[in-house]
Chain A
Amino acid sequence: MSAMTFLNAVEPHLPILLIIVPLFGALMATFMRSGTVAWFISLVVSVLVALIAWKLLNTILSTGTPIIYKIGNWEAPIGIVYKVDQLSGFVLLVIAAIAAVMMPFARRSIAAEIKQRAQPWYYAMYLLCLAGLMGIVITGDAFNAFVFLEISSLATYVLIALGRHRRALLAAYQYLIMGTIGATLYVIGIGLLYVLTGTLNFDDIASRLGPALADPERRNAVMAALGFAFVGVSLKLALFPMHVWLPNAYTYAPSVATAFLAGTATKAAIYLLIRLLFTVFGVSISIETLPVPQVLIVLSIAAMFLASFSAVFENNAKRMLAYSSIAQVGYIMLGVGLACLPVLAATTDASPATTPNNGMTAGLVHIANHAIMKAALFLALGAVYYRIGSVLYKDIAGIGRTMPLTMLAFGIAGLGLMGTPGTAGFISKWYLALGAIDTGWYSIVFLIVASSLISLIYIGRITEVVWFREPSAAAAQAKEAPLSMLVPLWILALLTIYLGLDTRATVDVAAEAAKVLVGGIR
């Protein structure tokens, strides 16, 4: 069989391969004795998954119609379907690409941070987590999403627990409690929806919710379902104030795991929430039954400010970035919240159905941009940890002089986080502010830029520490990170700039997805 016919034969099954490949890879990694072999398997699998995701997104964008994969050829309401549309294709690629880019970094970092015999387990869990995240995004079935959510979560707990410090165990335990509560709340919501509609397929639920809402007795149940599912998923994506598990988990997990989780795990949960709000419940239901947009906007803004303030006063660089992640999730959810609100007619010439919603575009773009920037920042810290074994401010003081390339990449990604024009972060904030203007919430524009100012303070503070303070004993001895670490780091750092100047890859796709999500409903 020639390569061409093989590819043709495989092509229709790409959606399921997205799950099977990492699952199988995880199985193989489990049986390996050597961390290096397991790493190589993970590398191959990650790249393969990224290529599949890229191919899927390209197909969607060129045809414009969603890819629907029926597992076992069972039709939708009976069987489980995988559905890849512009939104899920976009998120799939973001997650897979981030995972693949940081794999070369992982080998040395993991070899240094995790005991020899546990290394294959790390890679197995990582691949399991990747499979789970892919599954959350690709599935079109509400309960299947729960299963994948738990697969990825269980793997995540192990990844965190593999951290070097004993507090990693406690962080993993706390996350396990919170994560399980969140997942269970989600499942309660889904259960109520199933009782109401008799189906678990996202699209089918959506089409059958209308009559349920019209019936005053069942209306309460719809509200309860929305409430449970919303809170459950919000716990997973660390929406303020359901974020308490996140700082410890990110601080004590192995460096690569932190970078991976910060870039991808919350993003999959955000995807699930967007899917629930816009596809399953639909904006009209979300607004009519519960004040979802208001809640989202208030909580997001609270996250943007309070979490950023916490970041300012942190003395542990990883925890500082963890708090910043909570704030950045706030930006994404603010965009989502704004997308729920009606667009003022005066600000747009065309009808909302044909122009992409700026708020939603901002949220989706920031999913990609934040994943890239935060992964770069955490990888830079991972390289520092690899060299000096600490990321406390007192230890990394003056490290810019001995590890200039690493810290320069850190600085670039930091600029992106602040939303400096010319970086990806600016594009996110630009669309977010446009979204706020579209809905007439001018005050939010000021809140967005004011919170950027706080990020200037915490990024400025660490910049001062690493560049201008006298080097600590450890930092003075440090050497520049090895090439296998610098390359992934710089790819992400340069992407931060590139996506700030050429937005076709992010904004155009996000706008397409926003059009499908928000445009279709109005």
Chain B
Amino acid sequence: MQALETLATHYNYFITIVLMISGLFIVIARGNLIKKLVGLSLFQTSVYLLYLTPAKILGGTAPIYNPAYKVYSNPLPHVLMLTAIVVGVATIALGLALVVRIKEAYGTIEEDEIFSKDPDSE
């Protein structure tokens, strides 16, 4: 019962953790280079949630000064995550570009097939 209550009140943290772990799992377990990037993206996304959860104040509003409102959300994590999203997009874009080039060079994007094409470690 206790656990269920924790789950209900902290559900966003649990979502974060699930996203984080599934993202990491996909990166490690999948051999397809695109799928790995999908996993990586999931992993990064979980961090956005981690930052935004404590920043959202219940009942708070957007942090634009207005005498009508007393409670504001913390703007800083939102801004930080804006930066992180940009970084994440850049990373995924670069990763995808690399995958395109790898496909051109090897004719495949499956890790095991690529390794079998360059067997020597030289």
Q: Do chains A and B touch in the complex (CB under 8 A)?
A: yes
Interface of A, secondary structure class, is helix
**Structural contact, B36 and A158, CB atoms closer than 8 A:** no
Partner of A191, one of B47, B90, B114: B47
**Structural contact, A169 and B91, CB atoms closer than 8 A:** no
Interface bits B55-74 vs A (CB < 8 Å: 1, else 0):
00000000000000000000
Say if the beta carbon of A181 comes within 8 Å of chain B. Answer: yes
- Nearest opposing residue in chain A for B95, CB measure: A176
Interface bits B68-86 vs A (CB < 8 Å: 1, else 0):
0000000011001001100
Interface of B, secondary structure class, is helix
Partner of B105, one of A150, A157, A166: A166
Which residues of chain A are near B80, meaning CB under 8 Å? Answer: 143
**Structural contact, A173 and B95, CB atoms closer than 8 A:** yes
Say if the beta carbon of A194 comes within 8 Å of chain B. Answer: yes
- Nearest opposing residue in chain A for B115, CB measure: A170
Say if the beta carbon of B98 comes within 8 Å of chain A. Answer: yes
**Structural contact, B98 and A147, CB atoms closer than 8 A:** no
Partner of B101, one of A143, A146, A169, A187: A169
Say if the beta carbon of A59 comes within 8 Å of chain B. Answer: no
Say if the beta carbon of B18 comes within 8 Å of chain A. Answer: no
Say if the beta carbon of A499 comes within 8 Å of chain B. Answer: no
Which residues of chain A are near B51, meaning CB under 8 Å? Answer: 191, 194
Which residues of chain B are near A191, meaning CB under 8 Å? Answer: 47, 50-51, 77
Given the interface contacts A167-B118, A176-B94, A177-B36, does A195 sit within 8 Å of B101 by beta carbon?
Answer: no
- Measured in the bound complex, the distance between the Cα atoms of B31 and A170 in whole Å is 13
- Measured in the bound complex, the distance between the Cα atoms of B121 and A316 in whole Å is 9
**Structural contact, A188 and B102, CB atoms closer than 8 A:** no
- Measured in the bound complex, the distance between the Cα atoms of B120 and A315 in whole Å is 11
Q: List 12 A-B contacts (CB under 8 A).
A: A143-B83, A150-B90, A169-B102, A172-B98, A177-B27, A177-B36, A180-B40, A180-B44, A181-B40, A184-B47, A191-B51, A316-B122
Interface residues of B (CB under 8 A from A): 20, 24, 27, 33, 36, 40, 43-44, 47, 50-51, 54, 76-77, 80, 83-84, 87, 90-91, 94-95, 98-99, 101-102, 105-106, 114, 118, 121-122
